[in-house]
Amino acid sequence: MNLSIVIKSTARSRNIRITVREDGSVLVTKPKWVSIKSAEAFVAERSEWIETTIARFGEKRKGPVPIQLPRPRKNSKAYKDARETARKLVTERLAYFNQFYGFTYGTISIRDQKTRWGSCSANGNLSFNYRLIYLPPELADYVVVHELCHTKEHNHSERFWKLVQETVPTHTQLRKKLHAGFR
């Protein structure tokens, strides 16, 4: 395997993580206490997976071009307005869908997440990417319902997907569309 691999140490990492980007670059994030040699051994053990993933991205690039969503400069008026609009959207849609579910959730955070549309902590705190406001409404609703359902099922089990399906019956198609076309 002859790849360009960047190894980054962070104090916040608890485990070694390999990220293969769509352009074929590989980022290895490791905790500060893990040696470079150990990180390299970890990469070597997973070389087949890395090569397969890079090849899969190569196939994806032959498909439709992902839609590039706006990304206003941090701390600009456009960025602050986008975050505030996202907070209103998420709060409204959570209230709407939770009329059906009746789940309890904690705080709602709006962030500039690079790789996620949303997340749910073990405590039921919900975090959403401010760029949801740029998605078609059905995709934004799917993300909101997905995270809301994680407050009840903290996994992607069959029970979780049944919960999602109760209000978003087309979740499978929406999920594929979200992952295939929007960055």
pLDDT tens for residues 113-159? 888 999 999 999 999 999 999 999 999 999 999 999 999 999 999 99
Q: What is the CATH number of the domain that holds 149?
A: 3.30.2010.10
Q: Are residues 12 and 92 in the same domain?
A: no
Q: Are residues 177 and 102 in the same domain?
A: yes
Domains identified in the chain, total number: 2
Is residue 119 assigned to a domain?
yes
Task: Print the domain residue range for 154.
Answer: 77-181
Report residue 152 as tokens: 């009840």
Instruction: Measure the CA–CA gap between 138 and 171, rounded to whole angstroms.
Output: 9
Q: Are residues 96 and 54 in the same domain?
A: no
**43 phi/psi in degrees, rounded to 5:** -65, -45
Is residue 31 assigned to a domain?
yes
Q: What pLDDT, on a 0 to 100 scale, did the predictor assign at position 109?
A: 96
Is residue 175 assigned to a domain?
yes
